[in-house]
């Protein structure tokens, strides 16, 4: 390869990367600038940047009866699911990674196999159970409890825990520490990087969840942010995009901030959690 063509190839590579990145980032920018435009400007569609910058759309969003409450509901549900899920998945991953017992491989294969069952198969009967047996409709529990110990999280934590040397655990046992104590005092601290990665993944999934909250939270006072956003949609041609975009910015902003803070952990978590094994 000559020097010239090498330069051309490199230029082409950077152009491709820049084009793909622009495609990825543009909708975020579009959402933000649309949220800062008055309604007529959104529909004129003539200027990309707002001609008259305004925060009015955000105050309109908060004047929606349930907006502030929905932020709290979303946060409460996502935070509790994340905490509970991290604890139970770490526990399960530890059981599978660091102990030998009869039936272990079979049980673990079963855990993985459960990933193949799509949610759509159980959504209706589960809703009926929630309503008639548990009386959990319009409570946060159906969004926190059923998948607190899930196959993905257990698999994810097990992968990480396989790399913990047995010697550390045995040292704890020799010192007379009980098994729960070893888990809490030795295993959990060692797994902190994996817990952070999994925590971000679980939090994002819970915060963004839509189908299941839509089914089990019929009353507006219990809605999460995605449900409030959805309720703003009008019949074709009558959707208040200004308020909708402001609400979208509010529901995305926490994730963008978290992403920028923890993106290394998230990226390494996804790369580690999906391929190995």
Cβ proximity to other proteins, 102 vs 189, nearer residue: 102
Segment near other proteins (CB under 8 A); pick from 70-78, 120-128, 161-169, 191-199:
120-128
**C-beta of 76: minimal distance to other proteins in Å?**
19
Segment near other proteins (CB under 8 A); pick from 56-64, 72-80, 107-115, 163-171:
107-115
**C-beta of 63: minimal distance to other proteins in Å?**
19
Q: Which of 96, 152, 156, 160 binds other proteins (CB under 8 A)?
A: 96
- Residue 7 in the binding site for other proteins (CB under 8 A): no
Cβ proximity to other proteins, 10 vs 192, nearer residue: 10
Nearest to 161 by CA among 185, 187, 200, 181: 187
Nearest-angstrom CA–CA distance, 207 and 217: 14
Handedness of CA 61, 29, 233, 211 (dihedral sign): negative
Nearest-angstrom CA–CA distance, 14 and 36: 32
Nearest-angstrom CA–CA distance, 147 and 216: 15
Burial of 180 by CB count in 10 Å (0-12 exposed, 13-18 middle, 19+ buried)? exposed
Cβ proximity to other proteins, 71 vs 270, nearer residue: 270
Q: Which of 70, 143, 154, 194 binds other proteins (CB under 8 A)?
A: 154
Nearest to 214 by CA among 190, 231, 202: 231
- The two three-digit tokens of residue 173, written as one number: 């046992």
End-to-end CA gap in the chain: 39
Please list every residue from 203 through 232 that binds other proteins, using CB under 8 A. Answer: 204, 208, 210-211, 215, 226, 229-230
Segment near other proteins (CB under 8 A); pick from 53-61, 63-71, 189-197, 253-261:
253-261
Q: Which of 77, 111, 144, 217 binds other proteins (CB under 8 A)?
A: 111
């Amino acid at each position: 390869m000559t020097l010239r063509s090498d330069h051309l190839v490199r230029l082409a590579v950077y152009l491709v990367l820049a084009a793909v990145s622009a495609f990825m980032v543009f909708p975020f920018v579009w959402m933000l600038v649309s949220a800062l435009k008055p309604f007529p400007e959104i529909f004129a569609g003539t200027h990309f940047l707002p001609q008259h910058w305004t925060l009015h759309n955000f105050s309109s969003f908060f004047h929606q009866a349930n907006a502030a409450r929905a932020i709290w509901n979303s946060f409460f549900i996502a935070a509790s699911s994340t905490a509970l899920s991290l604890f139970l998945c770490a526990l399960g991953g530890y059981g599978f990674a660091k102990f030998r017992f009869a039936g272990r491989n079979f049980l673990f294969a079963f855990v993985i196999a459960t990933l193949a069952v799509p949610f759509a198969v159980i959504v209706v009967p589960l809703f009926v159970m929630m309503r008639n047996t548990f009386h959990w409709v319009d409570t946060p529990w159906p969004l926190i409890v059923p998948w607190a110990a899930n196959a993905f999280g257990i698999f994810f934590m097990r992968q990480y825990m396989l790399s913990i040397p047995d010697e550390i655990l045995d040292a704890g046992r020799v010192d007379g520490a009980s098994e729960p104590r070893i888990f809490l005092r030795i295993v959990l601290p060692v797994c902190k990087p994996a817990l952070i990665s999994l925590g971000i993944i679980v939090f994002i999934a819970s915060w963004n969840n839509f189908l299941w909250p839509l089914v089990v939270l019929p009353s507006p006072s219990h809605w999460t942010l995605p449900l409030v956003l959805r309720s703003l949609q009008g019949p074709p041609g009558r959707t208040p995009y200004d308020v909708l975009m402001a609400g979208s910015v509010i529901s995305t902003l926490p994730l963008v901030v978290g992403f920028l803070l923890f993106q290394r952990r998230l990226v390494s978590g996804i790369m580690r959690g999906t391929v190995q094994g």
